[in-house]
Structure 1
């Protein structure tokens, strides 16, 4: 009937402005100081609750981390066996945090974090979906550097808040990736020709944010 509204056609309409807003926030936040990545202002968690809350907050207040987790969740939605990507990321993020806690150095972590946002957004923007192992490999490699950055907030903590911190940032990343995955799957349930457009647009927006992060790292 003429008066009926096709809900599947409305999904991109509401999704695209949301992604545009996310991109604007990313450009704005790229100018913030690194201290914004620490939920407790750089103070080391001293108990199990503080450790867990800090772990929950770090991937959220750090917009570069948040955008990458959203990107791999959306990527998982368009790939066969795509859930390996967020799982690889969370696993290697734990390893990266362990590297930091062992006082080992990774080269240029902020550069690689920003580059990972740009590259994952670029892969998501492609008309042809990338190979699942390419996406998972990038997610796993990026996880080392994201996790290394996460480790900064917990250096010097006792074992109990340290473990709860690791649990917290693993849980929140899996939850965010799962929500992004569900969003992507919902969009893909629309017509096969048009359903890829919102996710590709999201990829372009995410790649643009990664470029903004990179410019901040390179230009200071």
Structure 2
């Protein structure tokens, strides 16, 4: 056990608590314990307060007031408001709720390149859009996988149809339109999938 002398501040606090204990001997045990606990918590909270902490025990005791005044207040049925711990330590402010992130310029540019861009520049625009989408944290891995599958499948279908019609002895405008739509439809579906993902967030 340490035999080091108590610090001056500790002596002040202990003397105050001893005087409070002596003054409150006529209170019921429950009220007496509540008073002592409340005052001890007040002193500890004042010393460790986040804003304006008090290291000077004498200043804390002075703010509490004479022990007999506190005991008289308890006899009347209520402690002074400034001694109540909730009044001393205000509750922390509620955490601010940030608005849900729904994507930015890069995300909507990727969607645009997959939808409108696919009709103006098939294959190239959708691939560029998917590269942008893949680098974005706003899309889930599942969204990206679906986007790549639809985009690659659309390009592959266009390539298959092109080879198929190239083997035929004749070419029609309908064949070219079918190839064009095959290369655009999957990319457009991928863009709509990513857009719906942004709207759900």
Task: With the length of structure 2 as denominator, give the TM-score of the two structures.
Answer: 0.28
More helix by proportion, 1 or 2? 1
Relative contact order: is structure 1 or structure 2 higher (C-alpha 8 Å, sep ≥ 6)?
A: 1
